[in-house]
Amino acid sequence: METRPDKDSQRRKKRLRYRSQVAGTPQRPRVCVFRSLNHIYVQAIDDSAGRIVASASTLDKEVRGRIKSGGNIAAAKVVGEFIALRLKEKGLAEVTFDRGGYLYHGRVKAVAEAARQHGLKF
């Protein structure tokens, strides 16, 4: 009997395949999304220097004050807004979007669209 790999291992495989083709630069960092059941985390990463330029998550104090729950689309929109504002403060407007192996749907899509509405280009 053949067993199927679980969803998380399939997602990690997709993520590694995508990461072999995309890298963040100082002028255009990679915006990486991670979602758990209760929270969503977004980081802007400069892969050439190996450092995080900016980050936002539903655990941040500013974000927590504006959301009811961390694991829904409304919270993802707020996180997308905050990552866009933090990157614009640093003078960065263009990014590469890394969905982290997740489908571009639901919370991941909400983060991307909110970031676009607040001035990020990708």
**91 located within any domain:** yes
pLDDT tens-digit readout, 66-103: 999 999 999 999 999 999 999 999 999 999 999 999 99
Grade residue 4 by pLDDT with cuts at 50, 70 and 90.
Answer: confident
Query: What single string gives the DSSP state of each residue in 53-115?
Result: EEEEETTSHHHHTT-S-SSSHHHHHHHHHHHHHHHHHTT--B-EEE-TTS-SSTHHHHHHHHH
The answer to whether position 42 is within a domain reads yes
For residue 27, is it within any domain? yes
- pLDDT of 22: 87
**The total number of structural domains that make up the chain:** 1
Q: Which domain holds residue 86?
A: 22-117
Query: How far is 86 from 78, CA to CA, in rounded Å?
Result: 12
CATH number of the domain to which 28 belongs: 3.30.420.100
For the stretch 9-67, pLDDT in tens is 999 999 999 888 889 999 999 999 999 999 999 999 999 999 999 999 999 999 999 99
